[in-house]
């Protein structure tokens, strides 16, 4: 491994941690703070995040995940047609137009998968596919006990991502370096770091 590249990566991570930007992973929840689905989204994502809502200003240039807890059939149809009805959907459309991906935790139409006519389900699936081509995709809700990381330097952000996936173990290459903050974050979240 290139020592200079490793030193640069460690330096960047240390600077991020010292500036305080490495402490939490920001998530913009596109919904109302009092909404039960938004509160459920916070709980589902778990520790290691700083939750923001559309009425709160993130730091300038801050990179964050954008999550819609629930997308109704009506809003899905509007968004698939390139329209945004209401201030929350305008936030979604603005993010997509800026090239920022947005994740959806739950699509309303999927509740009717067992009862809706096949043609209607195909219409909704087509709208979901159109939205995915815009950058609005279903959130990966699969839980994994073990998450494998194939990086030479493992940071607290990698541990936070593993936590989002429900991991209890982070499996690393034998020669991977782990930042002290990553070790601390893993311990706080109950994640075991293993090498294999």
pLDDT in tens, the chain (196 residues): 567 776 666 766 665 555 444 445 688 999 998 889 998 888 887 767 788 899 887 666 667 889 999 999 999 999 999 999 999 999 999 999 999 999 999 999 999 988 999 999 999 999 999 999 999 999 876 566 788 888 889 998 888 888 877 788 988 888 899 999 999 999 988 899 998 7
| pLDDT for res 13 | 63
> Residue 22 and residue 25: Cα distance in Å, rounded?
7
Q: What is the pLDDT of residue 86?
A: 93
Specify the DSSP element, H or E, that contains 160: helix 156-164
pLDDT of residue 56: 84
Q: What are phi and psi of 43, to 5 degrees?
A: -65, -40
Q: Are strands 177-178 and 65-68 parallel, antiparallel or unpaired?
A: unpaired
Give the model's pLDDT for residue 46: 75
pLDDT for position 144: 66
From first CA to last CA, the distance across the chain in angstroms is 18
State the sign of the Cα–Cα–Cα–Cα dihedral 161, 164, 165, 170: positive
Residue 28 is inside which H or E element, if any?
strand 25-29
Return the DSSP state at 141: -
Q: What is the predicted pLDDT for the residue at 60?
A: 61
pLDDT value for 125: 94
What is the per-residue pLDDT for 44? 81
Please check whether residue 175 is in contact with residue 160, taking contact to mean a CB–CB distance below 8 angstroms: no
Q: Phi and psi (nearest 5°) for 40?
A: -65, -35
- Quote the pLDDT of residue 80: 95
**pTM of the predicted model, to two decimals?**
0.61
Contacts with 82 (C-beta within 8 Å, 6 or more apart), sequence order: 93
- Looking at residue 182, the DSSP 8-state letter turns out to be H
φ and ψ at residue 47, rounded to 5 degrees: -65, 170
Taking the C-alpha atoms of residue 138 and residue 102, their distance in angstroms, rounded to an integer, is: 9
Backbone angles phi, psi at 194, to 5 degrees: -125, 160
């Amino acid at each position: 491994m290139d020592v200079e590249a490793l030193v640069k990566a460690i330096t960047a991570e240390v600077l991020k941690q010292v500036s305080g930007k490495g402490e939490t992973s920001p998530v913009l929840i596109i919904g109302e703070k009092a909404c039960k689905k938004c509160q459920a989204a916070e709980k589902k994502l778990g520790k290691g995040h700083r939750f923001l809502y559309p009425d709160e200003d993130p730091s300038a240039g801050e990179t964050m995940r954008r999550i819609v807890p629930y997308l109704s059939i009506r809003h899905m149809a509007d968004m698939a047609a390139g329209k945004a009805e209401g201030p929350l959907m305008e936030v979604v459309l603005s993010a997509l137009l800026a090239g920022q991906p947005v994740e959806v935790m739950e699509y309303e139409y999927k509740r009717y998968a067992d009862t809706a006519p096949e043609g209607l389900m195909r219409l909704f699936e087509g709208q979901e596919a159109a939205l995915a081509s815009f950058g609005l995709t279903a959130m990966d809700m699969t839980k994994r006990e073990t998450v494998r990381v194939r990086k030479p330097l493992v940071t607290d952000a990698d541990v936070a991502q593993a936590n989002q996936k429900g991991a209890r173990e982070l499996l690393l290459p034998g020669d991977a370096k782990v930042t002290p903050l990553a070790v601390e974050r893993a311990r706080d979240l109950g994640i075991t770091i293993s090498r294999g």
